[in-house]
Chains A and B, each alone.
Chain A
Amino acid sequence: NAGVTQTPKFRILKIGQSMTLQCTQDMNHNYMYWYRQDPGMGLKLIYYSVGAGITDKGEVPNGYNVSRSTTEDFPLRLELAAPSQTSVYFCASLDRAQETQYFGPGTRLLVL
């Protein structure tokens, strides 16, 4: 029972590089989310999606883009990496019946 999976687990980027953080869920959840967690802080919502083809901004969307072409996948794109994007990124999907989000294990990103 995979749940929510994220790749890669860890990545070092140089300033200005781009990358895509992958997220896949196998629970057939329509709602999916991307959060970032900075040290000593709670999780902040970057983007979310209520279904394939529908995405919307969260609290801290600047510097990121998302797409949602399938129910299972919700990739997060960083176009021009900046040191301020050094963080741990979590993807989640929502079980609407239980009103509970299930999280992936996270991607640790370091921008130097």
Chain B
Amino acid sequence: DQQVKQNSPSLSVQEGRISILNCDYTNSMFDYFLWYKKYPAEGPTFLISISSIKDKNEDGRFTVFLNKSAKHLSLHIVPSQPGDSAVYFCASHYNQGGKLIFGQGTELSVKP
């Protein structure tokens, strides 16, 4: 039972345009959401997070939106750059030892 789902395995975007990566979850007890970025042969690195008490969090070119009623969050990257090409994982944790539940990942390709 996949509690965190990323239904798009891949996304291709032109440099300078907006990238929108989507994530859905099923458990209404989830209270904190994170996005991780992963390059090949490296471990995931933290990108941005959002608490369930907010509906938006922004950090430079990256913005995460949370729609609790729809159990949906999205990551917006504006403008997209070739260096953003990576696999992006959505994850959620709830207060039981900080354990994370990951989505399957979306591979973003930003073309020059």
Task: Please list the residues of chain A having a beta carbon within 8 angstroms of any beta carbon in chain B.
Answer: 4, 31, 33, 35, 40-45, 48, 50, 56, 58, 90, 92, 94, 96, 99-106
Contact = CB atoms under 8 A, between A and B. Distances in A.
Interface of B: 4, 6, 9, 32, 34, 36, 41-46, 49, 89, 91, 93, 97-105
Contacts, number: 62
Contacts of A44: 102
B54 to A, nearest CB: 13
- Chain A interface SS verdict (over half): strand
A90 to B, nearest CB: 5
B102 A106 contact: no
Contacts of A31: 97-98
B98 A42 contact: no
A45 B100 contact: yes
B100 A101 contact: yes
